[in-house]
Structure 1
C-alpha cells in the first residue's frame, strides 16, 4: 500500500527556515573562501576549512529543518542517529574537497568543473544518506529521472557557488550569491523529496530509532552554534569588517599581456619618464656619416 507523504506538515515554516539556514551557511562559506584568497598561504587552509564546515553545516541543517515537516500519514517516522551524523560528516568532507580544489587551483575551467562536481555530489549524497537513516513501517522508492534532476541541480548550484567565491569580491555581491545558492540547494532538496514514494508494509510495532523532534532538535544545536561562531569570526575579521578585502582584491595585480619593447621604442620600465610621471624626452636622431665605397680588402 502506498503511503500519503506530506512534506509541509508545518506549512511554510520549515521551508522558509530551511532556506535561511542554507543561505547562512552559504554566505559564511563564500566569505571564508574569498578571505582565503587574500591571505598568506599559511593561513589559507584554515579559512578554507572554516568555509567548508560552514557550507556543510548549513546544508545539513537546512536538510533536517525541512525534514521536520516531513510526515507519512498514519505512520510514525524515526531516525537512525549514526547514519544521521554520518551524513553531516559526508557533507563537510566532500564540500571541503571541492573548496580546497578551487581555493588552490583558482577559477580555471577544470578546477571549477572538478570542485563543483565533487561538492554537488556531496550535497546530493548527504541528502540521500540522511533519507536512508529514516526508519518507518515501509520502504522508500525513488523516481530515477527526478533523482537525476536533483543531482544536476546540486552540481550546477555548487559550481556557481564556487565561481562566486573566487570571482565575487564585494559583501553585497557575496550576499546575493548566497541567496541564489540557498535557493538552489533548497530546490534540490524538495526536488529529491518529490522523487520519493513510500510503500507501507502494514501495521506492526514502532520502528527502531528516535522520533524526529527528540533526535533532530538536539543534533542541530551543534551545527547552529558552529554557524554562529563562524559568523562571529567573519564579522570581526579586520579586513572584512572594514571592507579592506575588497580594496586589496581591486589593487591586486591581474594577469595581462606583457609589455614587449619594440625596436626604436623604449620600454616603460621603473626608471622611465612615463613611470616617473614626466613627459617623455624628445630624442634627436643623428644620422651616421656616409661611408665611401668599400675596397676589396673591406669586402
Structure 2
C-alpha cells in the first residue's frame, strides 16, 4: 500500500483504508512517555522495597521486610497495650466491683458491645431488645433474677426452662380456664373460678401464691403482661404453653427455652464484662 500512498509527505505508515483513512506515524507525546518511564521506575522501586514476586516456596521480602499481616499484628499489639491496664483490673475484680468502678464500667460498656454482638445479639437483639421467642434484656422482667451476680451466673452456666405439659392431666376446659385466668391477671383482672383452679392444681408451687413467679425456679411472673413467648394471640399462646409445657420431654409441641452455657466459650473476664454490659442495659435490679 505504501507505494501507492496518496499522502507521501504526511508521515503516515502507508496503511490506508477507504481512500483516505490512514494510520499516522506521529511520535508518542512527551507527557505520555514520561508517565510510562515513571511507572517503570515505580514498579522497580516497589519490587525492591516491598514483598512482591512469588517464588517456589516463598516470595521476595523487599528491603523493608514489611507485610500486611505484620502491620496488622503491630496494630493489635498497640491496642492490647492500651487495653491491658483495664483488662488486668477486670481480671482482679468481681463483676460487682467492676460495676461500681466508674472508669472500668465505662470501659466495659464500650468494649463489651463486640462480645455481645458476637455471642448474644442473634437471640437477644441489638441493645438487648429481644428477638421473637427470646427474652428482652432491657426491661425489668427476669426469670432467674436481674442482680449483677444472678446475670453472671446465668451467662456462666446457662439456663433451661422447665414446665410440665398438662395435656394429659387437665381437661380442655380446665386449660382454657387457666389460660384465661393468667391472661386476665396480666390485665389486672381476677377470675375467681380460674383462681380456684390455679390453686387447686398447685400452679402456685412454681409461680407463687401471688402468681409473680420465683427466681429460684425461673418460673414466670404471670401478672406483669410480659410474655416469654410473645405471640400475636396471647390467649392462644398461653393455652399452648399450659398444654404442652416448656422443654417437656416426650411432647413434640413443647416450648423450647434454653440458653447455652458460656463458661467454655468465653473467658472468666469476658463473662464478667457481659454481666456488667447486660446489667447496664437498664433492666438489672
TM-score, normalising length: structure 1: 0.21
TM-score, normalising length: structure 2: 0.22
Larger Rg: 2
Larger RCO (CA within 8 A; separation ≥ 6) = 1
* Structure (1/2) with the larger helix percentage: 1
